[in-house]
Amino acid sequence: MSAVYVRIGEYRSKYHSDVDCPSLNGKQHTYMGQESMAEDKAKEQCLAACQHCKR
């Protein structure tokens, strides 16, 4: 099972496979950090795969 990265806070709807994804690190005014979790866990939280990340 692979780990993915999500933003911390309420402004998140996607999970990212690339820790350097611009969508993961952008919007600094709402950025509160990021955390990693299993991909299955991200899906449980209704997060969708980021289209910018390339596996």
Rule CB under 5 A: choose which of 23, 25, 31, 39 binds Zn ion: 23
- Binding segment for Zn ion (CB under 5 A), chosen from 12-20, 25-33, 35-43, is 12-20
DSSP state of 45: T
Whether 47 contacts 12, CB under 8 Å: yes
Is 34 an interacting residue with respect to Zn ion (CB under 5 A)?
no
Q: How far is the CB of 25 from Zn ion (least distance, A)?
A: 9
CA dist., res. 7 & res. 16, Å (int)? 9
Q: Which two tokens stand for residue 38?
A: 């299993």
Residues at the site binding Zn ion, with contacts judged by CB under 5 A: 16, 21, 23, 50, 52-53
